[in-house]
Structure 1
Amino acid sequence: MQPETRPAARPTTQGKSQPEGKPKPPALPVSMLAALGIVYGDLGTSPLYTMQTVLETTGGTLSADAVLGLLSLIIWALIIVVALKYCLFVMAADNHGEGGILALTALVTGSKPEAEQPAPPAPARPSVSIRLLLTCGLFGGALLYGDGILTPSISVLSAVEGVGVATPALAHLVLPVAVVILLALFALQAVGTERIGRLFGPIMLLWFLVIGTFGAISLTRHPEVLWAIDPRHGMHFLIAHHWRSLAVLGGVFLALTGAEALYADMGHIGRLPIRLSWFVVVLPSLLLCYAGQSASLIGLAKLPSNPFYGIIPHDIFPIAIWPMVVLATCATVIASQAIITGVFSLTRQAIQLGWFPGLNIRQTSSEEYGQIYVPVVNWTMMVLTLAVTVGFGSSARLAGAYGMAVSTTMLLTTVLLYSYLRRVAHWPVAGALVIGGLFLAVDLAFFAANLLKIAEGGFIPLVLGAVVFLVMTSWRRGIAALRTVASEKILAPELFLQQIADGHVPRVPGTVVFLTRLRDPIPPVMVAHVEQFGALQQNVVTLTIKFEEVPRVPVAERISLKRHEGGVWHVIARYGFIEIPSLPTALAEASTMGCAIVPQEAIFIGARDEVVADRTGRGNGLPGWRRMLFGLMYRNAVHLVDRFDLPPDRYVQIGRQIAL
Structure 2
Amino acid sequence: MHDSETAADDADASITGQSGHTSATAKAMLPLTIGAIGVVFGDIGTSPLYAFREALGQAASDGLDRGEIIGVMSLALWALIIIVTLKYVVFLMRADNDGEGGVLALLALAQRGVAKGGWIIALGAVGAALFYGDAVITPSLSVLSAVEGLKTLPGGAAVFTEGRILVISLVILAALFAIQSRGTEMVSKLFGPVCIAWFLAIGALGAIHIADGPGILAAFLPWHAVSFVTGHGVLGLFVLGAVFLTVTGAEALTADMGHFGKAPIRLAWLALVFPALALNYLGQGAFAIHTLEEAGRMGQPFANQDWFFQMIPEAVRLPMVLLATAATIIASQAVITGAFSLTQQAMQLGLLPRLAIRQTSAGHAGQIYMPAINWLVLFGVMVLTIGFRNSSAMAAAYGIAVTGTMVITCCLAFMVVRRRWGWGLPLSLAVIVPFLSIDLIFFGANILRVVEGGWVPLTIAAGILAVVWTWVRGRKIVSALEHDGAVPLRDMAAALAARPPKTVPGTAVFLTARPDLTPHALLHNLKHNRVLHRHNLVTTVRTLQKPHCDPDERLTVTRVDDRFAIVELRYGFMEQPDVRADLIRGGAAIPDAAKASFFIGRNSYSHVAEGGMPLWQDVLFITLHRNAADPTDYFNIPPNRVIELGAQYAI
Q: What is the TM-score with the length of structure 1 in the denominator?
A: 0.90
Corresponding letter in the other structure for 2:37: L
1:134–1:643: structure 2 CA closer, same or farther, 3 Å change rule? closer
SS at 1:243 equivalent: helix
What is aligned with 2:530?
Answer: 534
Out of 597, 614, 626, the residue aligned to residue 603 of structure 1 is 597
1:418–1:20: structure 2 CA closer, same or farther, 3 Å change rule? closer
**Aligned-partner Cα distance in 1 for 2:159–2:416:** 52
Shift of the alpha carbon at 1:241?
A: 1.4
**Aligned-partner Cα distance in 2 for 1:440–1:650:** 53
What is aligned with 1:310?
Answer: 310
Shift of the alpha carbon at 1:555?
A: 0.9
Q: Does 1:160 align with 2:142?
A: no
1:594–1:19: structure 2 CA closer, same or farther, 3 Å change rule? farther
Q: Does 1:279 align with 2:270?
A: yes
Residues 211 and 285 in structure 1, CA contact (< 8 A), matched pair in contact too: yes
Deviation per CA, 1:333-381, whole angstroms, max 9, x where unpaired?
0000001111111000000111001111111111122211111111111
What is aligned with 2:181?
Answer: 190
**Aligned-partner Cα distance in 1 for 2:579–2:501:** 28
Out of 377, 380, 392, the residue aligned to residue 396 of structure 1 is 392
SS at 1:349 equivalent: helix
Q: How does 1:487-566 map to 2 (within 5 A)?
A: 487-520=483-516, 522-566=518-562
**Aligned-partner Cα distance in 1 for 2:600–2:424:** 50
Residues 21 and 555 in structure 1, CA contact (< 8 A), matched pair in contact too: no
Deviation per CA, 1:396-455, whole angstroms, max 9, x where unpaired?
111111111111111111111122221211211111112221112211111111011110
**Aligned-partner Cα distance in 1 for 2:452–2:18:** 50
Out of 86, 92, 95, the residue aligned to residue 93 of structure 1 is 95
What is aligned with 2:44?
Answer: 43
Corresponding letter in the other structure for 1:630: F
Residues 150 and 388 in structure 1, CA contact (< 8 A), matched pair in contact too: yes
1:334–1:19: structure 2 CA closer, same or farther, 3 Å change rule? closer
1:56–1:237: structure 2 CA closer, same or farther, 3 Å change rule? same
What is aligned with 2:7?
Answer: none
What is aligned with 1:121?
Answer: none
**Aligned-partner Cα distance in 2 for 1:264–1:484:** 35
**Aligned-partner Cα distance in 2 for 1:271–1:374:** 27
Corresponding letter in the other structure for 1:612: S
**Aligned-partner Cα distance in 2 for 1:110–1:196:** 38
Aligned residue pairs: how many? 619
Out of 294, 309, 313, the residue aligned to residue 285 of structure 2 is 294
**Aligned-partner Cα distance in 2 for 1:30–1:192:** 20
Shift of the alpha carbon at 1:614?
A: 4.7
Deviation per CA, 1:111-133, whole angstroms, max 9, x where unpaired?
99xxxxxxxxxxxxx77xx3333
SS at 1:320 equivalent: helix
Q: What is the TM-score with the length of structure 2 in the denominator?
A: 0.92
Shift of the alpha carbon at 1:562?
A: 2.0
Residues 20 and 556 in structure 1, CA contact (< 8 A), matched pair in contact too: no
Residues 18 and 364 in structure 2, CA contact (< 8 A), matched pair in contact too: no
Corresponding letter in the other structure for 1:50: A
Residues 55 and 243 in structure 2, CA contact (< 8 A), matched pair in contact too: yes
What is aligned with 2:435?
Answer: 439
**Aligned-partner Cα distance in 2 for 1:21–1:484:** 36
Q: How does 1:383-462 map to 2 (within 5 A)?
A: 383-462=379-458
SS at 2:20 equivalent: coil
- Considering only aligned residues, what root-mean-square deviation do their CA atoms show, in Å? 2.0
What is aligned with 1:12?
Answer: none
Shift of the alpha carbon at 1:254?
A: 0.4
SS at 1:319 equivalent: helix
Out of 237, 247, 251, the residue aligned to residue 260 of structure 1 is 251
1:598–1:430: structure 2 CA closer, same or farther, 3 Å change rule? closer
What is aligned with 1:13?
Answer: none
**Aligned-partner Cα distance in 2 for 1:251–1:538:** 68
**Aligned-partner Cα distance in 2 for 1:509–1:96:** 43
Q: How does 1:64-213 map to 2 (within 5 A)?
A: 64-110=66-112, 130-166=117-153, 167-172=156-161, 173-213=164-204
**Aligned-partner Cα distance in 1 for 2:17–2:248:** 34
Residues 62 and 297 in structure 1, CA contact (< 8 A), matched pair in contact too: no
Corresponding letter in the other structure for 1:602: A
SS at 1:479 equivalent: helix
**Aligned-partner Cα distance in 2 for 1:642–1:522:** 24
Deviation per CA, 1:599-658, whole angstroms, max 9, x where unpaired?
1x222211101112357x5x5x43343223212211111143332343333321102112
**Aligned-partner Cα distance in 1 for 2:141–2:195:** 18
Residues 497 and 566 in structure 1, CA contact (< 8 A), matched pair in contact too: no
**Aligned-partner Cα distance in 2 for 1:596–1:180:** 55
**Aligned-partner Cα distance in 2 for 1:408–1:598:** 48
What is aligned with 1:3?
Answer: none
How high is the sequence identity, in percent, across the aligned residues? 40
Q: Does 1:229 align with 2:231?
A: no
**Aligned-partner Cα distance in 2 for 1:360–1:20:** 20
**Aligned-partner Cα distance in 1 for 2:20–2:100:** 11
Shift of the alpha carbon at 1:543?
A: 2.4
Deviation per CA, 1:28-84, whole angstroms, max 9, x where unpaired?
111111111111000000000011101110125442111111111101011110011
Shift of the alpha carbon at 1:220?
A: 1.7
Shift of the alpha carbon at 1:331?
A: 0.3
**Aligned-partner Cα distance in 2 for 1:462–1:279:** 33
Shift of the alpha carbon at 1:527?
A: 1.8
Deviation per CA, 1:151-200, whole angstroms, max 9, x where unpaired?
00010011011100112222212111111111111111111101101110
Residues 293 and 310 in structure 1, CA contact (< 8 A), matched pair in contact too: no
Shifted more, 561-570 versus 641-650: the winner is 641-650
1:68–1:179: structure 2 CA closer, same or farther, 3 Å change rule? same
Shift of the alpha carbon at 1:239?
A: 2.4
Shift of the alpha carbon at 1:263?
A: 1.1
Shifted more, 561-570 versus 318-327: the winner is 561-570
Residues 569 and 595 in structure 1, CA contact (< 8 A), matched pair in contact too: no
**Aligned-partner Cα distance in 2 for 1:647–1:70:** 60
Shifted more, 514-523 versus 69-78: the winner is 514-523
